[in-house]
Amino acid sequence: MPELHPDVAVLAPLLGTWTGAGTGEYPTIETFDYIEEIAVGHIGKPFLTYSQRTRATADGRPLHAETGYLRVPSAGRIELVVAHPTGVTEIDEGTLSVTGDGLDIQLDSTAIGLSRSAKSVTALSRSFQLTGDELAYNVRMAAVGVPLTHHLAATLHRQQG
């Protein structure tokens, strides 16, 4: 495997596979529980690869997936570019802070792209807190006429091997 590019060295603690459980809610849907896997990798370039997939806790059916890239354009700044299979693309920008044993990432969408068949999503906000081998996140979303509100929360753990 190539060496980690120095521009994303600060994100090295995110590398690996993370699994855990979460809960989703939104004013227009029933609350649901899910199991999630996030994989963060690199190919030696100035970005990290990001992929996520979830399935229902109750019966294991697939729920959502997304894929994208993390970049660090300057010290203390971070970008996340994501494509969703639902016809939504998002560009998020925000802050990156190194904590005692982890990272704190705060992101807000700066651009949302929608295919003609996609539901109307107008804003997304994500926060990640990495502490050791635990990664917790929250997602807020503005969609289908609902203003920015809580949508997802999960706690994941680094998988060994």
Across residues 133-157, what is the average pLDDT? 98
- Give CA angle at 108 (103, 111), nearest 5°: 135
Structurally, the chain folds into a number of domains equal to: 1
The answer as to whether 50 is a domain residue is yes
Binding residues are 28, 119, 151
Binding residues for heme b are 28, 119, 151
**Residue-range definition of the domain harbouring residue 141:** 6-158
The answer as to whether 1 is a domain residue is no
Q: What is the pLDDT of residues 107-128, one digit of tens each?
A: 999 999 999 999 999 999 999 9
**Residue 71's CATH number:** 2.40.128.20
**Rounded alpha-carbon distances, angstroms, from residue 29 to 4, 22, 70:** 41, 16, 29
Q: What is the pLDDT of residues 41-88, one digit of tens each?
A: 999 999 999 999 999 999 999 999 999 999 999 999 999 999 999 999
